[in-house]
Amino acid sequence: MHKTYSNKGVIATLVLPGILTFIFAILAPICLSVYYGFTDYSGLGAYQFVGIDNYRELFKDQGFWLSVRNSLFLAIGFICIQHPLAIVTAVILDRLAGKAEGFFRCVYFLPNVISVAVIAYLWKFIYDPNFGLLNNIIKKFGGEGTTNWLGTGTAIWSVLIVLVWHGFGWGMLIYYTGIKNIDPVLYEAAAIDGADNKQTFLRITLPLMKPVIQINVTLAIISALKQMETVYLLTNGGPGNETQFLANFLYKQAFQSFRYGYGNAISVIFVLICICATGLLNMIFRKEKEA
């Protein structure tokens, strides 16, 4: 076996498929995006090399900066709303036993296995200003119940609620798995020392969950930046550009406005933002570990 894995031919055979997949599925598309980002390509026919004109226009484009702001707003919503709730839920699930634990774990994860199209249209009916469930509940409690939840002023918050709810299961499941990997002996020792639930959570669970929190926060920011399908089906960026996010803005420019070159310039900036966000998070968590 040692001789087999020390053979260069065998090593190349095992490594080559992964390298080819990386080149053709990731590296080549990124390189093509960089190239087309310097052109006025419409997606069809001939095109010309325009240099950095697309990038100059991009940094003056208010729609682009609004989509960046909305993506950052969504990322903050994930980190400050979704993930604290996910951690608390994971802790509660860990303390349940038997069938109840498995049942609630499935219930909380259920939205993640439902089609994005179903999710979007379900919430459209909930938010409907005429016969929607939300307005009917408000009417039952004496309110007016005529709010257009996907209209101006409320649309961004409505979209945030849908996306927090839809992605809640993944975050909760990752935290739940991280908690299950903590040695129970530590909790037993804390109980013997007289620590209550709050002290156990703050002194044992949270510190040992830092690597898991880092992964989850990174995934949350990347997820916020690449939100597309749910937003497209729910509001398509409307009203106006109020719920426009980076990925949706990119799609509109490239495939609806037929500005494929401009869309690729957006995608290059998009990739750079993701890399910078990931690097910044790694630096923050590294400093915390050193402290």
pLDDT digits (tens, 9 = 90+) for 13-38: 888 888 999 999 989 988 999 999 99
Q: At what angle do helices 260-290 and 28-36 cross, to 10 degrees?
A: 120
Contact 19, 13 (CB under 8 A): no
How many C-beta atoms lie closer than 10 Å to residue 246's C-beta? 25
Query: Which pLDDT does position 89 carry in this prediction?
Result: 92
Q: How long a stretch of residues is the chain?
A: 291
Residue 111 main-chain phi, psi, to 5 deg: -55, -30
The whole-angstrom separation of Cα 212 and Cα 214 is 5
What type of residue sits at position 15?
V
Query: Which pLDDT does position 278 carry in this prediction?
Result: 84
Give the 3-state secondary structure of residue 213.
helix
Query: Which pLDDT does position 285 carry in this prediction?
Result: 78
Contacts of 237 (CB under 8 A, 6+ apart): 231, 243, 244, 245, 248, 249, 252
Q: What DSSP line would sit under 1-38, residue for residue?
A: -HHHHH-HHHHHHHHHHHHHHHIIIIIHHHHHHHHHTT
The whole-angstrom separation of Cα 120 and Cα 166 is 10
Query: Which pLDDT does position 3 carry in this prediction?
Result: 64
Higher-confidence position of 24 and 2: 24
Q: What DSSP line would sit under 233-250, residue for residue?
A: HHTTT-STTTT--HHHHH
Please say if the pLDDT value at position 147 is more than 90. Answer: no
Supply the pTM of this predicted model.
0.86
